[in-house]
Structure 1
């Protein structure tokens, strides 16, 4: 019987949920051909929490401090594990796991190594660029989750070139999203939103990068002109108190709903009439794709990671950090007829199906691994 191809998927910390794209990579690798082990450097599931769908999950359960600085303990544990398992391929997500595997692969010589970068600016620091140039080898391919991330990698000066960088867009399981989404009346009832309101909505942690403060400022500009409009934000985070103070100071009480964190927040997205992504920094925002899956018109900032998506989907953009211009985009949406909004939402949905379908995502990772393993085999012959 032919030996299965052994794949290590390395993640910094435990985070397994239905929309986790690392899990979707696994789902795209046939179990009759591949045997995947997921290693989490930090954390482990609590009772009742899901495990990876990999054939095997390993939890190093390291502290945060152990994955900083020299990381000797983490490197030693990972080295011993890889030596014992004899992996044929590695998929490492985000900078720290990628950097650790680049160091260890000087000795391990795993022939097919994929590094997945989700954000911008990972190689802004000079020492990271220098180290990457020293460690990068023919065994490595870097995946950027959007056009902006790929461009950032290639232009970083860290040794990444068009031949060793691949764009594989982040994706969502569209059919699953649609199955989960409650109809508008039910979604509004579950969130405690009025049936007759015009709901401007978003999903995202309450942190500065998401630009929620600018969204509040933009909404305050239009609230008096459109008394039926309401702003709803699903998410939790350290800016809640600051946002609550702004709501009070701008007399937005009753017009802005901070709904807190929700499991599988996309199930509520049809409660919205328009989806807004006011981020000032993103890799590729899955929440924006979730808004598209509900056939909603979308508005977002023109940061590098979102501009191409919004332009290609027919969404509306505004200059990041400019709440007055965001207010103008919101006015445009509010003034559309229901038929015009539905047409705009259908256009975003059709783009989503073309560019961010989960089936294509899985296939692209499978094809990349097959290509790299085939090249590695030829190089050893």
Structure 2
């Protein structure tokens, strides 16, 4: 067998094995691409009337939110730009509840169980197939790895043999029979989306497999190991009030922020956990955040390790890529144009197993008809 025939067989059987999962991941990826925009249109409680007065401090909004969390603590409290609601949240491996409030008045706008949220459900399906993460994560990761191999093998199969074939590889012959149109859809659209799909697949594999995340970090850092995310420790022997410290640090950060930025206060779980602040310089994305850790009693800034420690601009290239992974995956890193690329890339990815299956079935039928025709000729009596 020639090299291209071997690649063709590999491409075919991997496609038949992983096709259903690739379709599912493509469709759910389409839904997640415009999550922020859809939420802005459908969730009116995210917005408040801008007022010419200061926000209520975190301690006051936290006290209000606690009344709606059924005895659970506030884990994070986010203030958006002027005109946006403030959000208090509790979350663990099972529960996730948010309380939306007017940051100027403390009025509760919405209490929502996010485990029943549509996009949250889609995200869990996209990541884990709604299975326990230990089971679903490697299944999705394996399908994504197969998809990456198929993209590479597809490019090899698509590559034209000569100059005469180049034009055909870049255009769809819409006026041809449906089998030819299907062939062109699979080959031409597959080629165009493959360059987007490679980024989608790689960023997906970073979540799916620790070994892949470690290898990616090793490559992009020039041979360094991926550092563990370790929080510094607060000193419980120092007298101090965590809520008061949080209010003071929040006010200090807020004074140096622009109206386009947002800030989140992450409260400690235990008596030795630090108090954390996250200043997002580009709300609507997750990567461009500066993380600060403080002693919860004294307010002293504490050093932290890991990719999510310190300022984004000061982070290494490898650590920046770790932070950017989700926003690259959904296209948000490039703004609205990037989301359109991710959306259409995911949509075409979902279509490829379908058009590929139709190609395979059509060829099988054609081969079967040819064998029947040959059989009839052989069985005809010689006169």
Q: TM-score, normalised by structure 1?
A: 0.24
Please identify the structure whose Cα radius of gyration is greater. 2
- Structure with the bigger percentage of strand: 1
The structure with the greater share of residues assigned to helix is 2
- Taking structure 2 as the reference length, what is the TM-score of the superposition? 0.24
